[in-house]
Amino acid sequence: MAEKLTLSGLNPSDFKGVRDNKNTQLNVLCNSNGLEVCLLNYGARIVSMMAPDKDGKLIDVVTGHSSLADYLATEEPYFGAICGRYANRIAKGRFELDGITYDKFAVNNGPNHLHGGIKGFNSVVWDVETETDNMVSYYYESPDGEEGYPGNLKVHITYELKDDNGLYITYHAKTDKTTVLNLTNHAYFNLSGAGDPSVYDHQLQIFADYYLPTDETAIPYGKPAKVADTPMDFLTFKEIGLRIDDDFEPLRFGRGYDHCYLLNTKDNPREVTPAACCYSPKSGIKLEIHTDQPGMQLYTGNWMTGNLVGKNGQRYPARAAVCFETQHYPDSPNKPDYPSTVLKPDDSFNSTTIFFLTNL
Strand 184-185 vs strand 166-175: parallel, antiparallel, or unpaired?
A: unpaired
Contacts (Cβ under 8 Å, ≥6 apart) of 247: none
Active-site entry in 186, 202, 259, 328: 186
Contacts (Cβ under 8 Å, ≥6 apart) of 313: none
* End-to-end Cα, the chain, rounded Å: 40
Closest CA to 69 of 308, 342, 302: 308
Closest CA to 92 of 217, 216, 273: 217
Give the DSSP letter string of 111-179: TBEETTSTT-GGGSBPEEEEE-SSEEEEEEEEPTTGGG--S-EEEEEEEEE-TTSEEEEEEEEEESS-E
Whether 96 is a known active-site residue: answer: no
Active-site entry in 147, 156, 325, 328: 325
Cβ 322 vs Cβ 335: under 8 Å: no
Most distant CA atoms of the chain, gap in Å: 60
Sign of the alpha-carbon torsion through 229, 235, 239, 244 = positive
- What CA–CA distance (Å, rounded) separates 338 from 212? 11
Whether 259 is a known active-site residue: answer: no
Q: Work out the number of other CB atoms within 10 angstroms of the CB of residue 140.
A: 19
- How far lies 233's CA from each of 200, 281, 286, 343, in Å? 15, 20, 20, 33
Q: Report, as residue numbers or ranges, the catalytic residues.
A: 186, 325
